[in-house]
Amino acid sequence: MNVAPSPRLPSPPGCGITTFAFREARLSEMAAVRSEPCPAGGPVLPPRFLRHADEHSVVGLRAVLEALADHPRPPEVTGHAVVSAPCQAGRLTAARTLAALPTGGAASVSPHLVPQCSLHSIAGAVSVALGMHGPHLGVGGGPDALAEGLFTAATLLTGGGDPDCSAAWLIATEWDEEPCLDAAGEPQNDPTCRALAMLLEPIGSPEGGGEDMPELSLAVHMPAGTAGGPRLHEPAGGLVAFTRALSMCREGGALAWWTIGCPWGGAIRVAGRPRKVATARREAA
Amino acid sequence: MSGLSGKHETRRSLVMVTGLGVVSPLGTLATGLVDALLEGRSGVRAIETTDPARTSTQFAAPVTEIPVPAGIEPAEFVRLDRLEQMCLSPLAAAVADARLAATPGRRVGLVLGLGAEHLKTWESDFLAGGRDVFEPTREATLVHRLAARLGLNGPAVTVAAACGSSGYALAVARSWLRLGWVDACLAGGCDILSPTSLAAFYNLRALSRRNDDAAAASRPFDTGRDGFVMGEGGGFFMLERAREARARGACLRGELAGVGMSSDGSHMVAPNTDPTQAARAIAAALADADITPAEIDYFNAHAAGTPVGDVAEAGAIRIACGTAADTIPVSSTKSMTGHLVSGAAAFEAAACLGAIERQAVPPTVNLDNPDPACPLDHVAHVARPRRVEVAASNSFGFGGSNLCLVFRRAA
């Protein structure tokens, strides 16, 4: 149907990344994080808030709280949006549920299955935990979740303009290796659940290099004219690599920018603040 | 809250619906869906419960036939799992309805609103004897398979906001169009019934238990309501910027004029009795559409028939619309179709376009005794013919997700 892409190449709107945090926990450690999700000095959550939450929600919320704690000027989060981008969240609960179904029937199905193991559930947990009133949604769900989540978070911030939605959290989560489960749905390995949380805020032109540029910026680039049709997924390289790239870009060293390819041919580029601005700031200081 | 309204002129482009495809318990557009809605027919019926979950709910609103899309061999279509069939059929119908085939060179995106893809696909596989849920595999998600099958080369993303998922898909697609990231965009969503989802909602005590009278079980705003009825189906829209749609002579089914979104931030499961944030979403959608409450000619309520949710929604409408709420016709098509879950918002958006096309408001069936705690201008039992230029639709979901969409008759 649409054999050639549009020749239009809109200028990439940008977002600043004002804080981020990476958190991981082995499955065997999950109970401890679940019962104590908040870092020291963090907000107080209702007791057993994460009791029924999926592992991705547990680690994702912890990453958000650590990113908030790391923010140089902790923001008021009430108006924030939340986008969660998990890769195959909910597998453990789904496996246990299905394993019990033939013998246990309907009564064995937890009422928490749908609200806690759906694509939106991580974003919902963060939104509820921190009392956010911006929109929250889940994105992706598969191997391309990071790219899709970044793309959608940028959509919310740059495609919108509502002053109440001042920032958006992106929480990308994944297992380092998918859990291996026996016939009862019990894990036979001890995989690590990883979460990267970052706070995105709209900025003007990321290419401008102005004095108000944040240390990290993010822009969506759509292809000008790639030939051929769509491609199936192209894994982004994992959260660990992306987090390392964020750190290096922020430090302003050898890595100036990092690009994540999107399955449809577009790209998300994260860049550190242009060096001349960073240098000028250092000299001014 | 976000109205997704842009600061720049290019981001204020009007976005039109130029194609529509629906699969529902009441059939498709081609088989008289809008007639069925206006006649107040019910798609709720007793269902076979020989599934392993042996759920205590003995009724639902199933889709009895999923049309095989043109260009796909029936034998190939049958091999797809039910969720993929349920999405592909209305997607292909929306593409055909938009008649974009004659205009190559466009970048067409896809936003799929789907809340629990993996739960559904793992379950379907398991019930068919598979073990995917136990295996450490990672495969491309449904949205990418659908995009590949339809030959789309624009962005393709799945979004989820529980029962508002397919409505959020429309909101995201409109933003992509306004940002110039796509030239046209398919958006919407569908859902399927499954034994575990029926059981989970039943155990949550969210479902009606009127096993003796299935057709009367879905009764939004009625004093006798006791929960919702699960359904399946949904719809997809082709969205385009107005200028280009008009330039190619597209049939304009209506304008997606307003979007408002918010979150309650109150509870993961329990509906919020405080309608403040839901009202903010409605107000944002009206502001985004640049209309006053009095200009709304029809309000398609989320109203699933839950005791708490319907009262909260009535409160939200009254807060957002003020005294205008006394005269805005309100109905819940879930009384006829059940709750299509991820597909509900898109289906109900299609019902709004049907009301605009036919200049009549579909009814809330089974509304024998309107709950005085839901003081609205209910359209009970029978459709109400009237001028419909603007229609709004609410969708709410787990986690306190609130969405309001406003559609306007194409000028």
Q: ipTM value, please give it.
A: 0.94
| Helical H segments across A71-213, by residue range | 91-104, 113-117, 121-130, 145-158
Determine contact, residues B83/B192, Cβ cutoff 8 Å.
yes
Nearest-by-CA chain A residue for B177: A159
Domain residue spans in chain B? 9-247, 256-408
| pLDDT value at residue B8 | 39
Q: How confident is the model at residue A255 (pLDDT cuts 50, 70, 90)?
A: confident
B157 neighbourhood in chain A, CB within 8 Å: 139-140, 148, 151-152
Let me know if B267 is a catalytic residue.
Answer: no
The letter for the amino acid at A207 is E
Whether residue A231 sits in one domain with residue A130: no
Given a cut of 90, whether residue B410 has pLDDT beyond it is yes
A78 neighbourhood in chain B, CB within 8 Å: 265
| pLDDT value at residue A36 | 87
A155 neighbourhood in chain B, CB within 8 Å: 172, 175-176, 179
The whole-number average pLDDT for the span A1-5 is: 31
| pLDDT value at residue A38 | 85
Determine contact, residues B362/B355, Cβ cutoff 8 Å.
yes
| pLDDT value at residue B392 | 98
Residue A234 included in any domain? yes
pLDDT higher at A231 or A72: A72
Place of tokens 């870009």: A249
Given a cut of 90, whether residue B54 has pLDDT beyond it is no
pLDDT higher at A269 or B166: B166
Instruction: Please tell me the distance in Å from B376's CA to the nearest CA on chain A.
Output: 26
A13 neighbourhood in chain B, CB within 8 Å: 179
Q: What is the percent of chain B with per-residue pLDDT over 90, rounded to a whole number? A: 87
Put simply, the answer to whether A121 touches B399 (Cβ < 8 Å) is yes
CATH of B256-408, one of 3.40.47.10, 3.90.550.10, 3.40.640.10, 3.40.50.620: 3.40.47.10
Nearest to B116 among A81, A114, A180 (CB): A114
CA pair distance B311, B325, nearest whole angstrom:
14
Determine contact, residues B49/B219, Cβ cutoff 8 Å.
no
| Helical H segments across B138-231, by residue range | 142-150, 165-179, 195-203
- For B33, B109, B298, B330, the CA distances from B327, given in Å and listed in that order, are 27, 39, 10, 9
Given a cut of 50, whether residue A269 has pLDDT beyond it is yes
pLDDT higher at A14 or B36: B36
Whether residue A127 sits in one domain with residue A66: yes
Annotated catalytic residue: which of B87, B163, B321, B374?
A: B163
Nearest-by-CA chain A residue for B279: A133
Put simply, the answer to whether B104 touches A2 (Cβ < 8 Å) is yes
Q: Is A176's Cβ below 8 Å from some Cβ in B?
A: no
Whether residue A253 sits in one domain with residue A194: no
Q: How confident is the model at residue A252 (pLDDT cuts 50, 70, 90)?
A: confident
The letter for the amino acid at A66 is E
The whole-number average pLDDT for the span A251-257 is: 84
| pLDDT value at residue A277 | 55
Nearest to A4 among B104, B109, B117 (CB): B104
What value, to the nearest 5°, has the Cα angle with vertex A83 and ends A258 and B10?
75
Q: Is A46's Cβ below 8 Å from some Cβ in B?
A: no
Domains B9-247 and B256-408 share a fold: yes
Whether residue A224 sits in one domain with residue A195: no
E strand or H helix at B95: helix B82-98
Q: Is A221's Cβ below 8 Å from some Cβ in B?
A: no
Put simply, the answer to whether B401 touches A120 (Cβ < 8 Å) is yes
The whole-number average pLDDT for the span B138-148 is: 92
Nearest to B159 among A98, A152, A162 (CB): A152
Q: How confident is the model at residue B336 (pLDDT cuts 50, 70, 90)?
A: very high
CA pair distance B308, B374, nearest whole angstrom:
11
What is the residue range of A176's domain?
A: 14-203
Instruction: Please tell me the distance in Å from A23's CA to the nearest CA on chain B.
Output: 22
Put simply, the answer to whether A264 touches B105 (Cβ < 8 Å) is no
Let me know if B302 is a catalytic residue.
Answer: yes
Q: Of A261-265, B44-48, B221-225, which range is least confident? A: A261-265
Beta strand pairing call for B15-23 and B233-241:
antiparallel
Annotated catalytic residue: which of B87, B185, B190, B339?
A: B339
Let me know if B185 is a catalytic residue.
Answer: no
Average pLDDT, chain A: 84
| pLDDT value at residue A212 | 65
Given a cut of 70, whether residue B406 has pLDDT beyond it is yes
What are the two backbone dihedrals, phi and then psi, of residue B377, each rounded to the nearest 5 degrees? -85, 80
Nearest to A98 among B1, B126, B147 (CB): B126
CA pair distance B293, B279, nearest whole angstrom:
12
Whether residue A33 sits in one domain with residue A107: yes
Determine contact, residues B409/B390, Cβ cutoff 8 Å.
yes
The whole-number average pLDDT for the span B317-333 is: 98
Given a cut of 70, whether residue A280 has pLDDT beyond it is no
pLDDT higher at B139 or B161: B161
Instruction: Please tell me the distance in Å from B359's CA to the nearest CA on chain A.
Output: 32
What are the two backbone dihedrals, phi and then psi, of residue B3, each rounded to the nearest 5 degrees? -90, -5
A251-254 CB contacts, 8 Å cutoff, 24+ apart: A252/A278
Given a cut of 90, whether residue B117 has pLDDT beyond it is yes
Nearest-by-CA chain B residue for A231: B148
Given a cut of 80, whether residue B70 has pLDDT beyond it is yes
CA pair distance B198, B37, nearest whole angstrom:
24
Q: Is A239's Cβ below 8 Å from some Cβ in B?
A: no
Distance of CA A249 to the CA centre of its chain: 18
Distance of CA B48 to the CA centre of its chain: 25
The whole-number average pLDDT for the span B388-395 is: 98
Residue A176 included in any domain? yes
pLDDT higher at B49 or B50: B49
Residue A254 included in any domain? yes
Residue A133 included in any domain? yes
Domain with residue A30: its CATH number is 3.40.47.10
Contacts of B212 (CB under 8 A, 6+ apart): none
The whole-number average pLDDT for the span A271-278 is: 72
- Other CB atoms within a 10 A radius of the CB of residue A7 amount to 9
Q: Return the half-sphere exposure (C-beta side, CA atoms, 13 A cut-off) of residue B86.
A: 28
Annotated catalytic residue: which of B185, B302, B321, B374?
A: B302
Residue A6 included in any domain? no
| pLDDT value at residue A14 | 77
Determine contact, residues B279/B38, Cβ cutoff 8 Å.
no
Average pLDDT, chain B: 93
Nearest-by-CA chain A residue for B158: A140
| pLDDT value at residue B153 | 86
| pLDDT value at residue A57 | 97
| pLDDT value at residue B271 | 83
Residue A1 included in any domain? no
Determine contact, residues B191/B234, Cβ cutoff 8 Å.
yes
* Domain end residue (candidates: A157, A178, A203): A203
pLDDT higher at A37 or B216: B216
Whether residue A68 sits in one domain with residue A129: yes
Q: What is the percent of chain A with per-residue pLDDT over 70, rounded to a whole number? A: 81
Put simply, the answer to whether B136 touches A178 (Cβ < 8 Å) is yes
A166-214 tens-digit pLDDT:
899 999 999 999 999 999 999 999 999 999 999 999 886 444 445 567 8
- Other CB atoms within a 10 A radius of the CB of residue A283 amount to 7
| pLDDT value at residue A284 | 53
Q: Is A238's Cβ below 8 Å from some Cβ in B?
A: no
Q: Which of residues 66-105 of A touch B (CB under 8 A)?
A: 78-79, 81-82, 87-91, 94-95, 97-98, 101-102, 105
Whether residue A260 sits in one domain with residue A163: no
From the list B260, B248, B218, B224, the residue with the least C-alpha distance to B394 is B260
Nearest-by-CA chain B residue for A149: B157
Whether residue A120 sits in one domain with residue A45: yes
A37 neighbourhood in chain B, CB within 8 Å: none
| pLDDT value at residue B280 | 95
Q: What is the percent of chain A with per-residue pLDDT over 90, rounded to a whole number? A: 60
The whole-number average pLDDT for the span A216-244 is: 68
Q: Is A241's Cβ below 8 Å from some Cβ in B?
A: no
A34-52 tens-digit pLDDT:
998 888 877 888 888 999 9
| pLDDT value at residue B379 | 98
Put simply, the answer to whether A118 touches B160 (Cβ < 8 Å) is yes
A101 neighbourhood in chain B, CB within 8 Å: 52-53, 126, 195-196
Residue A2 included in any domain? no
Q: How confident is the model at residue B308 (pLDDT cuts 50, 70, 90)?
A: very high
Beta strand pairing call for A216-221 and B254-263:
unpaired
Q: Of A188-197, B49-58, B311-320, which range is least confident? A: B49-58
Residue A8 included in any domain? no
Under DSSP, the state recorded for B106 is -
Count, residues in chain A:
285
Q: What is the percent of chain B with per-residue pLDDT over 70, rounded to a whole number? A: 95
Whether residue A100 sits in one domain with residue A27: yes
Nearest-by-CA chain B residue for A1: B101
Whether residue A103 sits in one domain with residue A69: yes
* Domain end residue (candidates: A203, A226, A254): A203
Given a cut of 80, whether residue B52 has pLDDT beyond it is no
Instruction: Please tell me the distance in Å from B111's CA to the nearest CA on chain A.
Output: 10
Q: How far apart are the first and last CA of chain A?
A: 57
Place of tokens 């992706």: A140
Burial class of residue A269 (count of CB atoms within 10 Å of its CB; 0-12, 13-18, 19+): middle
The whole-number average pLDDT for the span A219-238 is: 58
Whether residue A136 sits in one domain with residue A28: yes
pLDDT higher at A277 or B254: B254
Q: How many domains does chain A fold into?
A: 2
Q: From start to end of A32-86, where are the E strands?
A: 81-86
Instruction: Please give the CATH number for the structural domain made up of B9-247.
Output: 3.40.47.10
E strand or H helix at B408: strand B401-408
* Domain end residue (candidates: A150, A178, A203): A203
